[in-house]
Amino acid sequence: MRVPPLKITCDCGEVASVRHGERWTCERCDRTWNTEKIPVEEYRGLMRDLRRYRLVAAGIAVVIAGTLIPLALLVNPGLVFVVPILLGAIAIFAGPYWKRKIRERVANRPRWELDPE
Ligand SMILES: [Zn+2]
């Protein structure tokens, strides 16, 4: 999963997407914007949240597999093949919900006011 790039809107209205730590010089009015001025902790907070969403999703899959596989082996080893199908079904149903959560988190990302250099 990629971290969303920072969106810079220049005073003149020009818009650019820049990674954190990069500089951008507006082509229209020559102002330079330095994204290093953005508090790195706040930006990291966003990245941390996005990573957590991915880890939680992976964790749930591991827990389900870790519970069902031993259970299936005890009851009927043939059932082991049902586990990946079940995980796939959960991914299909929970995936859109999960993606919406991530999109909402990205949409609610903080905004910063920068001064041109
Ligand atoms: Zn500009």
pLDDT at 2 over 80: no
* Cα 54 to middle of ligand 1, angstroms: 36
Query: What integer is the mean pLDDT of 39-46?
Result: 84
Task: Name the residues around ion ligand 1, CB cutoff 5 A.
Answer: 10, 12, 14, 26, 28-29
* Cα 50 to middle of ligand 1, angstroms: 31
Cα gap 20→48, rounded to integer Å: 14
Assign 3-state DSSP to the chain and report helix, strand, coil percentages, each to 5.
Answer: 60, 10, 30
Q: Is the pTM of this model over 0.85?
A: no
Cα gap 46→73, rounded to integer Å: 41
pLDDT digits (tens, 9 = 90+) for 3-38: 678 889 999 999 999 988 899 999 999 999 999 888
* Cα 6 to middle of ligand 1, angstroms: 16
